[in-house]
Amino acid sequence: MKNLVFTSAGQREFRDKDNKPLVNNNPINEWTKGLKDFDLVTYCYDDSDIGKDKSNLWIRRPGFTKYQNFWHYASFYPKHLEQYDYVWVVDDDIFMSTDDINKMFQMMEDYNLDLAQPSISLDGMNYIRMFLHDSRYILRYSTYIECCAMLFSKKGLDKVKRTFSETVTGWGWDALVSDMIFEEGQDNVAILDSVQAYHGMSMSSLNKVLSREQHRVEGTALLKKYNKEKILNTNKVISGIKTNHQRKHMTFYKPEARYQGMIKVVFGDTITWHPRTFHFTKGFKDTEELK
């Protein structure tokens, strides 16, 4: 089994849930601290040299997003890509240990998955509740994986590789890709609760490429092209393997998490941003508390 981590990276400022700067602000250093069972390809989108000393292949390509850069890699280095059985296409604000990344790749093979992602730590940023870590499970089978940390098998990636050329922001694209890979009754798409990723709180670099209001416009057009407008917001957890290895089928998944972290961005003469926490009531109605 041969594995690849692909990222599009640049200089970022990260803060914790209390709005304090993180001392360690380079996810790539965390990924590569230990003995790794994967190679690393980094496309640098700014004038920094981030990841250059850690990568098997490092390319500077300013101003392009992760999707555009992966398509460039797949197009200009097809033989390099072809050697890998599993490929993790991950944002440069996702923190994980080397051991957990190794474990994640092994789970792909052990459970015969075509698409997956790590669960997301409650301490970090997360906008979709179903992806928050659930300690009751080894993994949860789902119909949807979010674009920040998609892990593909070779089979899964071959199905959707061309679509990387059709998105800039990933809005709606992840729903399309998940739909293209998910196979009813095959248990081939999953959230991996045996590992956790910390989604660092940081300003999104995507807004520098395409304004936030245009993200939805781009994504809607992409879904319309594939006649898939109706798949948005249909994501669900359908079953899971509990920590005692028992299988649980779910018609309705009740998450373990009772809160989730986000950031609030304020635009003005200067741009400021602050962490905020959403708490869920017993009736699962969201109430917002700003820190």
Whether 103 is in a domain gets the answer: yes
pTM over 0.85: yes
Whether 268 is in a domain gets the answer: no
Give the sheet arrangement for strand 272-280, strand by strand: 259-266, 272-280, 286-290
Would you state the pLDDT for residue 261? Answer: 76
Q: How many residues does the chain have?
A: 291
How many domains, the chain? 1
Q: Tell me the per-residue pLDDT of 87-138, one tens digit each, with 9 for 90 and over.
A: 999 999 999 999 999 999 999 999 999 999 999 998 888 888 999 999 999 9
Q: Tell me the per-residue pLDDT of 221-235, one tens digit each, with 9 for 90 and over.
A: 999 999 999 999 889
For residue 160, the SS3 value is helix
Contact 6, 74 (CB under 8 A): no
Q: Supply the range of the domain harboring residue 56.
A: 3-257
Whether 158 is in a domain gets the answer: yes
Radius of gyration of the chain (CA): 18
| Bridge partners (DSSP) listed for residue 190 | 116, 141
Whether 176 is in a domain gets the answer: yes
Return d(Cα 178, Cα 234) in angstroms, integer: 11
CA angle 168, 132, 281 (to 5 degrees): 115
Closest CA to 218 of 151, 157, 147: 147
Whether 269 is in a domain gets the answer: no
CATH number of domain containing 198: 3.90.550
Whether 267 is in a domain gets the answer: no
- Taking 50 as the pLDDT cut, the residues of the chain under it are 282-291
Closest CA to 27 of 91, 82, 78, 113: 91
Would you state the pLDDT for residue 214? Answer: 74
| Bridge partners (DSSP) listed for residue 91 | 8
Q: Give CA separation, 96 vs 30, 33, 100, 136, 192, in Å.
A: 6, 10, 6, 20, 13
Would you state the pLDDT for residue 147? Answer: 95
Contact 88, 36 (CB under 8 A): no
Whether 141 is in a domain gets the answer: yes
Whether 58 is in a domain gets the answer: yes
